[in-house]
Amino acid sequence: MNNDVLLEARRRWTIYNLPFGALRDCYAQPLPRARQEYRDTDYVALDFETTGLYPVKDQILSFGWVPIDGNRIRLDGAQHRMIKVDQAISAESAVIHQITDDQAARGEPLKEVLTDFLRVLGGRVLVAHHARIERGFLAAACRDFFGDEPLVRVVDTEALARRSLERRQQAYRPSDLRLHALAQSYNLPQMTAHNALSDALNTAQVFLAQIAYLDTGKSLRLQDLLT
């Protein structure tokens, strides 16, 4: 039994065990099949700004997401949403993402923003840079509010970059894999770092540049890109 069949069986089983709500609606959309062409697949690039790196104790400060239909970025669907948090933001953290306690106090409830994002995520592949962060915080938030994690396929632009360099047996430094370093290597427009929407858009552009490089005219399937 292949992975597509197993995931589809899990998706169908989970639908009947989830309460009605945003996560159930997300599960209601069939997952893209691993063997389908990347051009026939829809994606959504996601970035979080957070108070730290650990979902068990840290919080999401802002969401940024950008839908990608096939190989086209949909700016009309891009969103930047600030989250209301219930803990003080450390000075060290604020220096990085430039989000203050006052801004966070005026943010939206996490559940509302998460609900809107899950409506976009359904049926799409999640694209993130160093995707472990987004996957971890997204899973934790969905467990808290909806009782389960989202079932989602993931492309990690950092992992794609590492894989490409290693295949070419090209030496690299960890800093070469950073999002803005990759954007620069593809001659993409430079954007503000540590802003959720800017980083999500940067991730989307890097992703499309990566797959343009990989697309040699032969079949390029989603399974060749997945984390």
Transcribe 167-220 into DSSP letters: HTT----GGGGSHHHHHHHTTPPP--TT-HHHHHHHHHHHHHHHHHHH--SS--
Classify residue 16 by burial, with Cβ atoms within 10 Å: 0-12, 13-18, 19+: exposed
Q: What average pLDDT does the segment 199-213 reach?
A: 96
Tokens representing residue 42 in the block = 């829809």
pTM (2 decimals)?
A: 0.93
Tokens representing residue 203 in the block = 């991730």
Looking at residue 90, what is its pLDDT? 65
Q: What average pLDDT does the segment 71-91 reach?
A: 87
* Least confident residue range of 49-53, 204-208, 217-221: 217-221
Tokens representing residue 10 in the block = 């899990």
Convert the pLDDT of each residue in 113-170 to its tens digit.
Answer: 999 999 999 999 999 999 999 999 999 999 999 999 999 999 999 999 999 999 889 9
Domains of the chain (ranges; CATH) run 3-224 (3.30.420.10)
The answer to whether residue 95 scores a pLDDT higher than 80 is: no
